[in-house]
Amino acid sequence: MNQLILEKYASNFRAQLGYSNTESIHLKSLLHKLGVLAVFRPLDMALSGIAIKSGDSNHFMLINTARTLGHQHFTICHELYHLFIQEGFDYQVCQVGLFDKKDKEEYNADIFASKFLIPEEGILALVPDTELKKAKVTLATILKIEQYFSCSRRALLNRLFELKLIDKIQKEEYKDNVRASAMNHGYSLKLYEKNEVSEVIGDYGNVARKLFEQDKISETHYYGLLEDIGLDFSTLRNDGDEKE
């Protein structure tokens, strides 16, 4: 699939979801909106994520939180391609960011993710005219863009290079000392760190609760289902409040 078609898919997908091409997307809210059951877990470094689709209405993804937050956001967009854009998709384990040309759909997913997460129009809106004239985006602007779109430095540099807004020398120069550059410009480091969180997004708990309330599953079964998503009821006192 060529770049222009993927650009069109990314732009259409944004429009279909009610986002313009200049705004930043809160991805966890988007997952809720799309009804994706997303499991966030810290994994060893080889995996970025997994996507599974069952029928037309059941979408699942596993996101590795032992990667930086910016990388996780890219992974979510990558998996969205597999789940909502790719035709005939069944399952996929992904190592994001490789732009692996040997695997066509993996490559397409990376390109789509890049265009969906960081749209050209949004980038141009954030780059001052003086920098556009020289085709030389400064580090301060790069930080502003990556913070706004919550993306990794690597993903943004690839995107800016592709748009000819930075050259090879700048791309090399800006890829190092990312955390230090953010601190020097007064930004939080959250985007550049692994958060190692474990959480589940989606209606899994609601469905379990509904089954329990309708007496279709026992109490033991209900708690077992919730324990499977990592909930620990021993942290609650008998009255339902957290222990101090």
Partner 1 sequence: MNQDQIIGKNLQALRKKLGFTQDQVAAYLQINREEVSYYENGSRTASTKILSHLANLYGVDEYDFYEEDLDLANVNLALAFRAENIKSTDLEQIAKFKKIVRNYLSMKSLLEHEPTHS
Residue pair 87/5 in contact (Cβ under 8 Å)? The answer is no
Q: Which residue, chain included where needed, has tokens 């791309």?
A: 171
Q: Residue 72 CB, nearest distance to partner 1 (Å)?
A: 15
Q: Residue 109 CB, nearest distance to partner 1 (Å)?
A: 14
The closest of 174, 146, 183, 170 to 68, measured between CA atoms, is 146
Nearer to partner 1, 26 or 216 (CB): 216
The closest of 148, 66, 65, 155 to 109, measured between CA atoms, is 155
Sites of contact with partner 1 (CB under 8 A): 37, 39, 41, 43-44, 46-47, 50, 52, 54, 58, 60, 62, 90-91, 93, 95, 200, 202, 204, 207-208, 210-211, 214-218, 221, 225, 228-229
44 is written with which tokens? 């060893």
Q: Which residue, chain included where needed, has tokens 């230090």?
A: 180
Paired strand residues for 40? 63, 199
Q: Residue 79 CB, nearest distance to partner 1 (Å)?
A: 12
Nearer to partner 1, 161 or 212 (CB): 212
Nearer to partner 1, 60 or 192 (CB): 60
Nearer to partner 1, 37 or 69 (CB): 37
In order of 31, 40, 57, 104, 220, the CA distances from 92 in angstroms are 18, 16, 17, 13, 33
Q: Residue 58 CB, nearest distance to partner 1 (Å)?
A: 6
